[in-house]
Structure 1
Amino acid sequence: MKHLFFLNKYFYKYKWWIIPGVFFVIISNIFGVVPAQVVGHAFNLITENIAIYQLFDGFERQEIIYNIFSNSLFFFGALILILYLMRGLFLFFMRQTIILMSRHIEYDMKNEIYAHYQKLSLGFYRRNNTGDLMNRATEDVNRVRMYVGPAIMYTINTAVLFLLIIYFMFDVNSTLAIYCLLPLPILVVTIYFVNTLINQKSERIQEQLSRLSSFVQERFSGIRVIKSYVREKQVQDVFASESIAYKNSSMNLVKVQALFYPTMLLLVGLSTILTVYIGGKQVIDGAITPGNIAEFIVYVNQLTFPVTMLGWVTTLIQRAAASQKRINEFLQLQPDITSSNAEEPVFDGKISFKNVSFTYPDTGIEALREVSFEVEKGQFVAIIGRTGSGKSTLANLIMRMYDTDAGQIEIDGKELKNLNLNNFRNQIGFVPQEVFLFSDTIKNNIAFGLSAIEEGQVEQAAKNAAVYDNIVDFDLKFETMLGERGITLSGGQKQRVSIARALIKEPKILIFDDCLSAVDTKTEEEILSNLGKIMKGKTSILIAHRISTIKNADKIIVLDDGKIIEQGTHNELLANNGAYAEMYDNQLLEEENR
């Protein structure tokens, strides 16, 4: 239960929902128990009046007795109906308070988890897969909701009803009460163990279903590869195998449930038989009336559902505790990247790296080693190097997705760690190497970084990214809905929409992380030409593989194995006849051989 203590703050927040809810539980159970006594009195009335009615057989008074008897039965029937209507009304109020409270807590928890996820650093997302993050915010929260709602409601309801019934039973006849309750402990233990078994099997079914769903999703996503390699039969066989495992798990659960319910009914029936047998002996001895037997049978049947719920509630609490533990694991994590500065200056765009070293904490890969360089305000700087040389790491460090292990990064002469992070990132335009577009309209994807859009702003950004002509060819133009991860567009179109998303912000610092690889040379020249106009007087950093893309840069930095091995202009680096010149010659040779 210690993991569930986290929820106490929500219980305190919604205390004015819980307190009336408990009150409604008590009132509804009082109205639920009283009808049993009414049934007992009615049963006694029937037996007594039948005897009196037969006694006056042939006399005029018999009709009067019949009328009194009929009116009394009608009165008792109406009274029972009214009592159950009142019970139903207060049960409604009970659910409207406690169950609604659980939905509010669910809402608050999901918002808290999502907000906390967004605070966590990029390294957190590298260490955890998306499915697990989603599961904790959805399935785990739902299990916790079942604890704060139904589990608590049924626990209070069972406790109150049990105490009331026990009190009334012993008030009538303690001997009969003890015999009536004898099978109930056996029923509780049976339900607990069977429910635990059902829960374990249900967990296995959920795990198998999750594997089955993941398998299908992945295969449908990679259907092109499957068809290309003619692996449909092999994939079908694997799917059949997973389906059989799921079917077997489900059948095992059904077998347990098939034994559980008859056993439960048998124990309840045994309790009823004991009530009638022992109660009959008590009636013969004159200790109770026949109506008390009817009253006890109602009590026994009223206890059946709450006792059944005990096992279910125990399972809910166990599952909620396990889920809350998983939720707490992430909520207790603190972001690696924090910012406390409230100032919001406008940046010029001067960037300084001073002996910066960085190792990825999750993999241990040393990405940068003692890197030092400066980017002046308004400069167009290009970064080039082989795969794995640390180019993208530089971009991540400039945006402070990670903090350096050694050395420091300065923006306009101020250490990056001391800046207002949100304000700084708002003034950066970033186009990632791996393009990501949302399942939304093209217009909303381009305007993603803006809170307000001016007329013509989206269209101009699309023209600057050389994607405008492609967009207007669509039937719905900028209102065209993109599929998952922008699947509606080609690779080059996706990259250019991503570029438009960065350019529309008119950033002080623009970072292109090898995002022109999927566009042709003519389109690339058009984008770079537009970029020169837009970013005039602003800082641009372009990470690329093609030297033709970066030859006009004010400064070119050549990285290799996390170190700067050369830097200068295109002509200066060619004159050095070093690694840059070698890459240039190799690329020229590749173009000639095409």
Structure 2
Amino acid sequence: MKELLYLNKYFIKYKWRIIPGLIFVIISNMFQVVPAKVVAHAFNLITANISIYRLFNGFNQQSLAYDIFGYGLLFFALLILLLYLLRGLFLFFMRQTIILMSRHIEFDMKNEIYAHYQKLSLGFYRRNNTGDLMNRATEDVNRVRMYVGPAIMYTTNTIVLFITALTFMFLVNAKLAFYAVLPLPVLTLIIYNVNTSINRKSESIQQQLSKLSSFVQERFSGIRVIKAYVREFYAQQVFAVESNTYKHSAMGLVKVQALFFPAMLLLVGISTIITVFIGGKQVIEGTITPGNIAEFIIYINLLTFPVTMLGWVTTLIQRAAASQKRINEFLHLEPEIKSGTQTIQPFKGGIRFNHVSFTYADTGIKALSDVNFEIEPGKFLAIIGKTGSGKSTIANLLMRMYDVEQGSIEIDGSDVRSLDLSAYRNELGFVPQEVFLFSDTIKNNIAFGLDQVSFNQVENAAKNAAVYHNIMYLKEKFDTLLGERGITLSGGQKQRVSIARALVKEPKILILDDCLSAVDTKTEEEILGNLGRIMQNKTCVVIAHRISTIKNADKIIVLDNGHIVEQGTHIELLTNNKVYAEIYRNQLLEEEQ
């Protein structure tokens, strides 16, 4: 239960829904128990009136006795109807307060989880799969909602009904009440054990469902690779295995649940038989009336509900506690990247790496080691090197997706860790190596980085990214709806739309992480020419594999295994005749072939 203490803040927030709801629970239960008393009196009236009717056999008063008997029954029938109508009314009020409150809490929790997810650093998403993250924000929250709504409502309802019904029973006849409820504790134990087993199996099912969701999400995201390698049948086989595991877990749960209702009906039936047997003997002895037996049978059936709910509610609470624990695991995580408070005015875009070293915590790979370089504001910095040399790590560190392990990164002379994170990133334009486009229109994808963007700005950004004419060939032009991850477009078109998204921000620092790899040479020259025009007096960092992309840079850094092995201009590095010159000669040979 300690995990569920986290929810207390929501109960305090919605206290004016909980308190009236609990009051309505108590009132509705009173209207549920009182009809049993009315039935007892009606039953006794029937018994008494039958005797009176027979007593006046052959007299004119017999019809009068019959009329009185009929009016009496009508009165009791209307009274019972009225009581149940009032109970229904207060049940409605009860659900309108407690169940609606649970929906409000569900809404608040989902928003809190989503907001917290967005605060967590990139490393968090490298360590956790998407399917599990989604399950915690959906399935687990739904289980918690069942606790804050139905579980609390039925728990209160169970306690109030149990106390009220037992009180009425013992007030009528303590001996009969004792024997009538004797099988109920056994029923409680059976239900508790069954529900404990149900809970264990439910947890197993939940884990398997999370695994299945992750599998499906990953396969649908990579459907093009699956089709390209003709692995549809293999994917289907793996899915069938996972589904089969889920089916067996679910079938095991159903088999356990099948014990629930037969056990309940058996013990309720035994309670009814005991009530009729013991009660019948007491009626003969004159201790109670026949109406009391009818009253007790109603109480027994009323008590069946709380006893049944006891096991069900216990399961709900156990499942909610397990789900809340999963949710708390992430909610209690602090983001690895913490925002500073400093802002730079005016923001110029000077960059300096001071003895920067970085190791990825999840893999243990040392990406950078004692990296030092400086680029003045408004200059063009290029980074080149073989795969795995640490190029993208520099881009991620500049974006503060990660923080340096050793050393520091300075922007305009200020340590990047001291800067206000949102204000700092707003000054950057970033095009990642793995382009991601949303399932939205091209216009909205380009305008994604800003709240207010005119259509003219979107068009200009598309022109500068050399993708405008491609868009205009599409039937819906800028209103073309892209498929998931931009699957509607080619690789080069996706890269250019992503560049347009960065350019529309008019950033002070533009970071392009190998985002021209799928673009032909002519288009690349057009984009670089546009960048040279629009990025005047602004810092540009370009990571590339092709020297043709970066030969006009003010400074070129050559990386190898996380170390800077050379830096200088294109001419200087060719003159040095080392690593850069070798890369250049190899690329010239490839072009000639």
Give the TM-score band, short-chain normalised: over 0.9
- Taking the aligned partners of 1:85 and 1:345, their CA distance within structure 2 comes to 70
- Taking the aligned partners of 1:353 and 1:236, their CA distance within structure 2 comes to 49
Match of 1:283 in 2: 283
Match of 2:398 in 1: 398
Match of 1:385 in 2: 385
1:25 maps to a residue whose letter is V
- Taking the aligned partners of 1:145 and 1:346, their CA distance within structure 2 comes to 49
What is the CA deviation profile of residues 467-520 of structure 1, one whole-angstrom value per residue up to 9, with x for unaligned ones? Answer: 111111111111111111111111111100000000000100000000000111
The 5 Å alignment of 1:282-301 reads: 282-301=282-301
**2:388 maps to 1:427:** no
**2:206 maps to 1:179:** no
**2:481 maps to 1:484:** no
What is the CA deviation profile of residues 345-386 of structure 1, one whole-angstrom value per residue up to 9, with x for unaligned ones? Answer: 331111111111111222221111111111111101100011
Alpha-carbon deviation of 1:223?
A: 5.1
**2:69 maps to 1:86:** no
Q: Is the CA contact (8 Å cut-off) linking 1:557 and 1:567 kept in structure 2?
A: yes
Match of 1:12 in 2: 12
Q: Is the CA contact (8 Å cut-off) linking 2:129 and 2:214 kept in structure 1?
A: no
**2:43 maps to 1:51:** no
Match of 2:503 in 1: 503
- Relative to structure 1, the CA distance from residue 111 to residue 240 in structure 2 (aligned partners, 3 Å threshold; closer, same or farther) is closer
- Relative to structure 1, the CA distance from residue 468 to residue 130 in structure 2 (aligned partners, 3 Å threshold; closer, same or farther) is same
- Taking the aligned partners of 2:243 and 2:427, their CA distance within structure 1 comes to 51
Match of 1:253 in 2: 253
The 5 Å alignment of 1:178-327 reads: 178-219=178-219, 221-222=221-222, 225-226=225-226, 229=229, 231=231, 233-327=233-327
Q: Is the CA contact (8 Å cut-off) linking 1:357 and 1:369 kept in structure 2?
A: yes
Alpha-carbon deviation of 1:418?
A: 1.4
1:101 maps to a residue whose letter is M
Match of 1:554 in 2: 554
- Taking the aligned partners of 1:426 and 1:245, their CA distance within structure 2 comes to 47
TM-score by length of 2: 0.97
Q: Is the CA contact (8 Å cut-off) linking 1:53 and 1:65 kept in structure 2?
A: yes
- Taking the aligned partners of 2:416 and 2:8, their CA distance within structure 1 comes to 39
- Relative to structure 1, the CA distance from residue 147 to residue 79 in structure 2 (aligned partners, 3 Å threshold; closer, same or farther) is same
- Taking the aligned partners of 2:215 and 2:401, their CA distance within structure 1 comes to 32
- Taking the aligned partners of 1:126 and 1:249, their CA distance within structure 2 comes to 29
Alpha-carbon deviation of 1:253?
A: 3.0
Secondary structure of the residue aligned to 1:357 is strand
Q: After alignment, is 351-360 or 36-45 more displaced? A: 351-360
Match of 1:470 in 2: 470
- Taking the aligned partners of 1:303 and 1:233, their CA distance within structure 2 comes to 55
Q: Percent identity?
A: 75
- Relative to structure 1, the CA distance from residue 251 to residue 394 in structure 2 (aligned partners, 3 Å threshold; closer, same or farther) is closer
2:116 maps to a residue whose letter is H
Match of 1:535 in 2: 535
- Taking the aligned partners of 1:232 and 1:403, their CA distance within structure 2 comes to 41
Q: Is the CA contact (8 Å cut-off) linking 1:510 and 1:539 kept in structure 2?
A: yes
1:196 maps to a residue whose letter is T
- Taking the aligned partners of 2:337 and 2:202, their CA distance within structure 1 comes to 40
What is the CA deviation profile of residues 12-66 of structure 1, one whole-angstrom value per residue up to 9, with x for unaligned ones? Answer: 1111111111111110101110000000000000011011111111111111111
- Taking the aligned partners of 1:413 and 1:232, their CA distance within structure 2 comes to 54
- Taking the aligned partners of 1:244 and 1:170, their CA distance within structure 2 comes to 53
Secondary structure of the residue aligned to 1:28 is helix
Match of 1:459 in 2: 459
Alpha-carbon deviation of 1:221?
A: 5.0
Secondary structure of the residue aligned to 2:135 is helix
1:330 maps to a residue whose letter is F
What is the CA deviation profile of residues 385-438 of structure 1, one whole-angstrom value per residue up to 9, with x for unaligned ones? Answer: 111111111111112122212211111111211111111110100000000111
The 5 Å alignment of 1:108-127 reads: 108-127=108-127
- Taking the aligned partners of 1:327 and 1:275, their CA distance within structure 2 comes to 48
1:141 maps to a residue whose letter is V
What is the CA deviation profile of residues 200-237 of structure 1, one whole-angstrom value per residue up to 9, with x for unaligned ones? Answer: 33343444445455545555555555555555555554
Alpha-carbon deviation of 1:257?
A: 2.8
- Taking the aligned partners of 2:392 and 2:149, their CA distance within structure 1 comes to 48
Match of 1:512 in 2: 512
Secondary structure of the residue aligned to 1:567 is strand
- Taking the aligned partners of 1:381 and 1:44, their CA distance within structure 2 comes to 99
Q: Is the CA contact (8 Å cut-off) linking 1:383 and 1:543 kept in structure 2?
A: yes
**2:37 maps to 1:34:** no
Q: After alignment, is 558-567 or 39-48 more displaced? A: 558-567
TM-score by length of 1: 0.97
Secondary structure of the residue aligned to 2:553 is coil
2:420 maps to a residue whose letter is N
Match of 2:441 in 1: 441
2:587 maps to a residue whose letter is Q
1:18 maps to a residue whose letter is I
- Taking the aligned partners of 2:427 and 2:242, their CA distance within structure 1 comes to 50
Alpha-carbon deviation of 1:552?
A: 0.7
- Relative to structure 1, the CA distance from residue 366 to residue 212 in structure 2 (aligned partners, 3 Å threshold; closer, same or farther) is closer
- Taking the aligned partners of 1:236 and 1:361, their CA distance within structure 2 comes to 35
Q: After alignment, is 558-567 or 342-351 more displaced? A: 342-351
What is the CA deviation profile of residues 149-190 of structure 1, one whole-angstrom value per residue up to 9, with x for unaligned ones? Answer: 111110000000000011100000000000110111011111
- Taking the aligned partners of 2:329 and 2:446, their CA distance within structure 1 comes to 36
Q: Is the CA contact (8 Å cut-off) linking 1:344 and 1:420 kept in structure 2?
A: no
Secondary structure of the residue aligned to 1:349 is coil
- Taking the aligned partners of 2:379 and 2:342, their CA distance within structure 1 comes to 28
- Taking the aligned partners of 2:218 and 2:455, their CA distance within structure 1 comes to 41
The 5 Å alignment of 1:157-172 reads: 157-172=157-172
Match of 1:65 in 2: 65
The 5 Å alignment of 1:146-161 reads: 146-161=146-161
Q: Which runs of 5+ in 2 are unaligned?
A: none
- Relative to structure 1, the CA distance from residue 66 to residue 314 in structure 2 (aligned partners, 3 Å threshold; closer, same or farther) is same
Q: After alignment, is 229-238 or 55-64 more displaced? A: 229-238
Secondary structure of the residue aligned to 2:401 is coil
- Relative to structure 1, the CA distance from residue 243 to residue 563 in structure 2 (aligned partners, 3 Å threshold; closer, same or farther) is closer
What is the CA deviation profile of residues 454-474 of structure 1, one whole-angstrom value per residue up to 9, with x for unaligned ones? Answer: 241111111111111111111
2:104 maps to a residue whose letter is H
- Relative to structure 1, the CA distance from residue 408 to residue 205 in structure 2 (aligned partners, 3 Å threshold; closer, same or farther) is closer
- Relative to structure 1, the CA distance from residue 93 to residue 495 in structure 2 (aligned partners, 3 Å threshold; closer, same or farther) is same
2:17 maps to a residue whose letter is W
Secondary structure of the residue aligned to 2:31 is helix
- Taking the aligned partners of 2:133 and 2:21, their CA distance within structure 1 comes to 33
Secondary structure of the residue aligned to 2:367 is strand
Q: After alignment, is 408-417 or 238-247 more displaced? A: 238-247
Q: Is the CA contact (8 Å cut-off) linking 2:131 and 2:210 kept in structure 1?
A: no
